[in-house]
Structure 1
Amino acid sequence: MSLQSDIADLWARKQEGLTAADATDDHLATLEDFLAALEAGEVRAAEKSGDEWEANEWVKQGILLNFGLRETEAREYGDVAYHDVLPLRETADLAERGTRNTPDGTVIRRGAYVGSDAILMSPAFVNIGAHVGDGTLVDSCDTVGSCAQIGDDVKLGANTLIGGVLEPVEDAPVIVEDGVSLGAGCRVTSGFVVGENSVVGENTLLTPRIPVYDLVEEEVLYGELPPERRAFTRFVESSVSDHDLIDGGAYKPAVVATSVEEETLEATEREDALRE
């Protein structure tokens, strides 16, 4: 049987009442093989099909099984004692691939993939099912949530939150595609997709509940930022402005997206003018 079919069989047994107390050595061996496949990048919680990202339900089921069929145990991380169903990820393989994880608080949970030539600055946290691509920087105080898919050569600015998702299993996680730069303090949640080579200004909230005003294609989008965009937060008038209790109007956050190429050209022109 394949790993996928093993997980599907175990998931069915779990729905029929299998508990951690009932789990056998064979069951736990399947879960170990599954975590190893995640860490090796052989399976992913979501993959791109054409232009769309699709969640791999069976992978998310495998992650949930690791919580449902394991007992909580006392564990240690340096001098810190904690209790969890999973240990932290072994990191010896990272150095072999040129990846650095700095000390004093960098935490990588089992089942997380970290690519080659990546940098994880402390304190940062990478959760189970997350995929961090080659050459990516996870800066200080960043959180990469469960199943989040971070591409190659991405920069996550300090204090950035990438939201996680496990349930419902059919929902796609947060996606940050190749070459994206997120400024410090950004928040990306609820399955939002950040298109490749986009640059997002600091403290920007990207979530499907906040509209993205794409000035390039002149359309309003929800849940995605197209590729090659420069995005930043602005405030637009809210419909509650007409309420008698609100004096002077009310405004709600929005994201405005322009062309990265235009912004880069303007910056280059300003630099040239300063040098003349």
Structure 2
Amino acid sequence: MSTLQSDVTELWDRKQAGEIDAQSAGSDAIDTLEAFLEALEAGEVRAAEKRDGEWEANEWVKQGILLNFGLRENQPFGYGGVDHYDVLPLRETEDLGARGTRNTPNGTAIRRGAYLGKDCIMMSPSFVNIGAYVGDGTLVDSCDTIGSCAQIGENVKIGANTLIGGVLEPVENAPVILEDGVSLGAGCRVTSGFVVGENSVVGENTLLTPRIPVYDLVEEEIIYGELPPERRAFIRYVESSVSDHDLFEGGAYKPAVVATDLETETLEATEREDALRE
């Protein structure tokens, strides 16, 4: 990968210096971008990795993704009988069946440069964007969106109608992370590089973003941008600093997340997903 990294970095520097663009990019540049996308789809490179206990972005990988937008021409493609315009086609999926991964018909879309591990289930309609990494045994349910560069661990359950936000720029920012064993209830939103610790269970319709405080009742502290491992979390509303404003009566409230000890009971959602795999 060192050669691929150096080739991508060189292209990035040339693009930033104005030496190359979509009209002037030659076959060598496109070959580098193709090799880069293939490495992403094989899981050989990732937009972020955990180092010394902290998630860090691989800047050159995010640069490579941006180069695929900046050095390619917009062109027509066909998908499911619908013509559309983009700089990249959707991902080829022949490799998924060989490792036991299912993407159901009528609306599952996987963009080029996305990785899905073995024994995944992707229900329709759902979408996985470029640079995303979906680990082994993970369920992506109906109406879910996995944003660009999001890193999803193994055996994760993502409930229906859930948004995992993308973080592509700035390149130094880590994307949204769901670590191994996480379970998200239906209708959740996880955005702006938030990290959900392993084996945590998040209640339905919970918003997780660095701007909303997490009241961790286990360690008795208020934290931002992460949910620690082994937590059960749910949304609550706390009094806002503008509660006494003259323009409204009854007080104002703002969202917060409450995190408690993870109970050891079997989750109904997990039971349902196990049935899908039997």
Which TM-score band (shorter chain)? Answer: over 0.9
Could you list the runs of 5+ residues in structure 1 that have no partner in the other structure?
268-276
For the pair 1:200 / 2:179, whether they are aligned, the reply is no
In structure 2, the residue matched to 1:11 is 12
Q: Secondary structure of 1:241's match?
A: coil
Task: List per-residue Cα deviations over 1:137-171 (Å, max 9, x = no partner).
Answer: 00000000000000000000000000001111111
In structure 2, the residue matched to 1:214 is 216
Work out the CA distance in 2 between the residues paired with 1:160 and 1:216: 26
Structure 2 counterpart of 1:140, which letter?
A: S
In structure 1, the residue matched to 2:275 is none
Structure 1 counterpart of 2:170, which letter?
A: P
Task: List per-residue Cα deviations over 1:219-255 (Å, max 9, x = no partner).
Answer: 0010000000000011111110122223121111100
Q: Secondary structure of 2:29's match?
A: helix
Aligned counterparts, 1:47-58, within 5 A: 47-58=49-60
Task: List per-residue Cα deviations over 1:169-198 (Å, max 9, x = no partner).
Answer: 111100000000000000000000000000
Stretch deviating more after TM superposition (241-250 or 227-236):
241-250
Structure 2 counterpart of 1:239, which letter?
A: S
Work out the CA distance in 1 between the residues paired with 2:172 and 2:65: 13
1:128 Cα deviation (Å)?
Answer: 0.1
Say which of 166, 169, 175 aligns to 2:168: 166
Structure 2 counterpart of 1:202, which letter?
A: E
1:89 Cα deviation (Å)?
Answer: 0.4
TM-score norm. by structure 1 comes to 0.94
Q: Secondary structure of 1:2's match?
A: helix
Stretch deviating more after TM superposition (248-257 or 62-71):
248-257
Work out the CA distance in 2 between the residues paired with 1:209 and 1:22: 42
1:69 Cα deviation (Å)?
Answer: 0.2
Work out the CA distance in 2 between the residues paired with 1:182 and 1:81: 34
Work out the CA distance in 2 between the residues paired with 1:67 and 1:245: 46
In structure 1, the residue matched to 2:89 is 87
TM-score norm. by structure 2 comes to 0.94
Task: List per-residue Cα deviations over 1:37-83 (Å, max 9, x = no partner).
Answer: 00000000000012100000000000000000000111000201000
Work out the CA distance in 2 between the residues paired with 1:75 and 1:235: 45
In structure 1, the residue matched to 2:111 is 109
Say which of 143, 154, 157 aligns to 1:155: 157
Work out the CA distance in 1 between the residues paired with 2:171 and 2:164: 18
Work out the CA distance in 1 between the residues paired with 2:99 and 2:239: 50
Figure out how many residues of one structure are paired with residues of the other and give that number.
265
RMSD over aligned CA atoms reads: 1.2
Stretch deviating more after TM superposition (94-103 or 235-244):
235-244
In structure 1, the residue matched to 2:265 is 264
Q: Secondary structure of 1:93's match?
A: helix
1:92 Cα deviation (Å)?
Answer: 0.5
Identity of aligned residues (%): 78
1:99 Cα deviation (Å)?
Answer: 0.2
In structure 2, the residue matched to 1:271 is none
Say which of 126, 129, 132 aligns to 1:127: 129
Say which of 175, 186, 190 aligns to 1:184: 186
Structure 1 counterpart of 2:148, which letter?
A: S
Say which of 64, 67, 78 aligns to 2:66: 64
Say which of 213, 232, 235 aligns to 2:234: 232
Could you list the runs of 5+ residues in structure 2 that have no partner in the other structure?
269-278
Which protein is richer in helix relative to its size?
1
In structure 1, the residue matched to 2:276 is none
Work out the CA distance in 1 between the residues paired with 2:9 and 2:127: 29
| Runs of 4+ deviating beyond 4 Å | none
Q: Secondary structure of 1:146's match?
A: coil
